[in-house]
Chain A
Amino acid sequence: MPFISNTLEQQDQMLAEIGLTKEDLFADIPAGLLYEDFKLPQGLSEQRVRDSLAELAEKNSTHLTCFLGGGFYDHFTPAAVHSIISRSEFYTAYTPYQPELSQGILQAIYEYQSALCRLTEMEVANASLYDGGTALYEAMMMAHRITGRNKIIIDDSVNPIYRVMIHSYTRNLRIEFEESQCKDGLADRDRILERIDDKTSAVILQNPNFFGCIDDFSDIAAAAHDKGALLIVSCYPISLGILKTPGAMGADIVTGEGQSLGLPLSFGGPYLGLMAARKQYVRKMPGRIVGETTDASGQRAYVLTLQAREQHIRRDKATSNICSNEALCALTALVYLSLLGKEGLKETAQLCADKASYAYKRLTAIPGVQPHFRGRWFFNEFVLDLPCEAADVIAKLIERGFAAGFPLSRYYSGMENSILISVTEKRTKHEIGMLAEALESVL
């Protein structure tokens, strides 16, 4: 079923009207380059495809009670989010090159940029990037353009998935990395401050960090600024419902993964790369940006702006090669934030912290289970040390219906027994209790 409207008769009629044959249409391709022997299946009906994909969907385990996070979270999404973003005027449109026909998505992106600035307490934001990892890479390159320097200090409590991505992207570039090991769950001040010098482009930190610990980077921001370096903070937007903002800490560029703002987990994407910055750096920012202006009759209107930074104008001199943003995902985040609203986001963030704290108390009461970092404030994730290998325990808990957490040995040596547990507002006291019972029984 190729979704072609014209009947065979109409196709013949059109060919006749323009005086061409079917063969003429492909006569410009040298005969030897045409291919007929495609080993592809026959097309299927909608019913067949739906049945077979429903069968595949069944083979995925989405029934597990989810305590798995690591930067990607199982939050609650109001039904109105899906209903709104399913309006096809939004999702079947393309990049708003014609502002007269795209005021809807343009205004929505302007509102998204505004919401992100308000959330992070930054001055400017772009229309989004692909995901939190590519956003962090773009922020690093932006810092490089701003400072003209090559050295990056990155803390090892930044999401390890993002750290490996950044390393892949910079293999052929002259970027020098210094990785700082976090100390007792927090950025190690002594080591970071001592390493910032006049070659340093940026310090990259994450809050809450990969282990869930909360920090205040104001001192590091000041030290970086002293040496002409920037502070880049990767954030978890839900946490900003209550936590001190990167803006208040003095961050210069803020990135983050926007998945938690109403986007389904969808096995890794599409997600949403957040990026906000100080106003003075806006012309060095990558990606689409929407600005407010007026139209011919003086009405408020929205357009893509600062396009002189971009690839379709600047080609090989552009700030980035990025073309599309993740517009529909940015719209999703805006709708989510609008529905939760000022109080709702704050309450959701507080509930995450409450439930994580409760889970922490329940789980550390189990004999043999210890907190990995003592006396640390955490948001909705924390690290526990088990009396045996964490990966093994997690596998046993899967059989009991829990995605209990993430084994940190996958990215950190010496943490074989450590598990990262995430608790969102969706988890109930009852589910947390069940997890505690199940964990105790498998140890």
Chain B
Amino acid sequence: MKGSFRQSMAWLHTGSGLVFGWLLFAVFFAGTIAVFRTEVDYWMRPELHMAHPGPGAIDLAQSTLAKLAPDALRWSIELPTPRSPTLRVSWSLEQGKRPQSSYIDAAGQAVVPRDTAGGTMIYRFHYGLLLGLTGMWFVGALGMAMLVGLVTGVITHAKIIKDFFTFRPRASPQRAWLDAHNVSAVMVLPFSFMIAYSGLVIWWFIWMPAGWQVAYGGNRGAFFADIAQQGTENPTRAAATAPLVRLASLPPLAKNAVSHMPDVRSIAVNDPGRGSSRVDIVRVDSDSMWGGSDRLRFDGTNGTLLTRIEETGPPWYVAFRVFRIIHEIKFADPLVRWLYFIMSAISCAMIATGTVLWSVKRRARHVTLLRQSVSRPLTQFWADAGNVGIIAGLCTATLAYFWANRLIPAALSGRAGLETAVFFTVWALSLMAAFVEIAARRKALGNAVSAQRVLRRLWARHWMVAAVLAFLLPVIDQLSVEGIGQALRTADELVLGFHATVLIAGSAMAAAAWISSRSPEGRASLRR
């Protein structure tokens, strides 16, 4: 390229930021919420905010399954965990059919929660934009763009340490935005590197499939069979019935029977009630980031331990697994989880300030041209409208999604799809509203000072809408399902924590609205 190495890297940084910035923001935003996907799933199923089975959960699950599906091919039990205190059982009656499932309350009654897309929808948007394989390829390209953006950003800002201590909010707006972009980027630089790279590695077999395509003759299944732990075959289904051992009496379960069973995640039973029954118990070390885990297999008729398969492997298998684990944080304790949440939120701010910086820079040039009485087209402001609609609009859309979860009748069929539709409709409407406002005030955009005022008012209004939705969410929760009241009575940490987080985020949105609404006339750069 023309110019120095650093100039061409700066060009690449701006260019890729321009093309990918908005989608990258959306993916990071969804990823930030996905850190607490399970908790959001729980909040979005208020029917499950009840007394949950305690230490007797395994016995309860076993007796329920024995009643509901005594002759199933397979049972599985998901035990309560601190992140998801529900007890869920599922069973398959026919080979190849989707298993049926049910939640169980403390009294052993089946509970059917509302049909919701949950935090899982946001998680799926994070990795595939809800567009299947095509969406995953988009996200893969975004991951590469993120990696390129980070490397070129570091090269562009050679004085990275010095810049970290430089924040000049009262200097020109462009300087202030640049400083905000730099400070947030340097703060989370190692984190965003790690997230971008590990995100790419997780699905290497889709995005960079050369390895298995070449070395395994294009047979992906053969490759995965080769790296999988040597499995244990299930015996053929016995015709003779034999009573199933009491699951809670199996050694790893008995050990934890009194505590909240932190290590055992799930129990699966093949051929329950037959002579061929096998019990598989998956254990994970919930408190370790690296998530040591193993699988124990018992004979279901007499409770003898048959095999123990530890999740381990050769060095590169472990390396791949570590990449997955540090991206997905399946096993982190609450402190690490909150750190991830905060660092991804700062990464969102880094991307958002980057896209805003781009249009602020353009506007500075626009103002110079205006002063020279060169008339400029309205297109200068489309990027501003896009910034408002994408960034503030996504916050509004997510909060509207939570509102929809409480306001759409619980019994309505197809309501999960409706919730998702509300999310995307509100996002699109925010974007359209921003464009309409820019178009409607195009007369005011001819003058630098009034253009600034229009844009500030636009930001302020959109942040205000988002903040109001956030502040009213507890009210909606209380009016629709008496959620807050019940959570306070039962000290439901998950529900209260959800609302506290939304209120803190809402305060940040209100602060953004307040900062935007302050008079633009005080800005030194515009009077100069």
Q: Do A and B come from one complex?
A: no
Where the two chains meet, the residues of B that have a C-beta atom closer than 8 Å to any C-beta of A are none
Chain A interface (Cβ < 8 Å from any Cβ of B): none
